[in-house]
């Protein structure tokens, strides 16, 4: 049975600067780290206690014409409740949402995937509150 708080001394913190990098490439690297696939002791059914901090998430780029053509959809079970919003307006309203949504889509759709997603910390600017954890820089 998994305990609520795991005080594993082998917790690793990673920091990624997304400025000027493609959104999907950053998200795929982050998903691999959160799943633990880059560790030698990788086990598919175990959370590896790796945390990732993404800074400058609002400055990640989209290739091609996705900036103007990409649409985010949301809906509820009610008839006619489908809503769509363009990437350009989403990034103004909620600058970290596109990065969070792309990483979440690459994680497993299970309890373990939801636990992995909680280890992701996304910031739209270059300031973050995790300096005490001494995160390691990850190059992309």
Per-residue model confidence (pLDDT) at position 8: 60
Per-residue model confidence (pLDDT) at position 4: 52
Residues 34, 107: contact at Cβ < 8 Å? yes
49 φψ region: left (φ > 0), alpha (ψ -120 to 50), beta (else): left
* Assigned CATH for 12-137: 3.90.1180.10
pLDDT-derived band at 11, boundaries 50, 70, 90: confident
Whether the predicted model's global pTM rises above the 0.85 cut: yes
pLDDT-derived band at 139, boundaries 50, 70, 90: confident
Over the stretch 82-138, which tens digit does the pLDDT of each residue have? 999 999 999 999 999 999 999 999 999 999 999 999 999 999 999 999 999 999 999
Rounded CA separation 97/30 (Å): 15
Half-sphere exposure of 31 (CA within 13 A, CB side): 18
Over the stretch 50-97, which tens digit does the pLDDT of each residue have? 999 999 999 999 999 999 999 999 999 999 999 999 999 999 999 999
**Higher per-residue confidence, 22 vs 3:** 22
**Higher per-residue confidence, 135 vs 1:** 135
């Amino acid at each position: 049975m998994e305990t609520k708080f795991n005080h594993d001394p082998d917790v690793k913190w990673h920091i990624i600067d997304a400025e000027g990098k493609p959104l999907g490439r950053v998200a795929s690297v982050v998903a691999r780290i959160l799943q633990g696939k880059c560790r030698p002791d990788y086990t598919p059914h175990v959370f590896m206690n790796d945390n990732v901090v993404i800074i400058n998430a609002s400055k990640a780029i989209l290739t091609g014409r996705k900036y103007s053509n990409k649409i985010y959809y949301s809906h509820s079970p009610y008839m006619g409740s489908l809503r769509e919003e363009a990437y350009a307006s989403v990034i103004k309203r909620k600058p970290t949402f596109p990065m969070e949504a792309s990483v979440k889509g690459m994680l497993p759709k299970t309890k373990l995937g939801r636990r992995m997603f909680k280890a992701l910390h996304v910031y739209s600017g270059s300031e973050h509150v995790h300096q005490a954890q001494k995160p390691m820089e990850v190059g992309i």
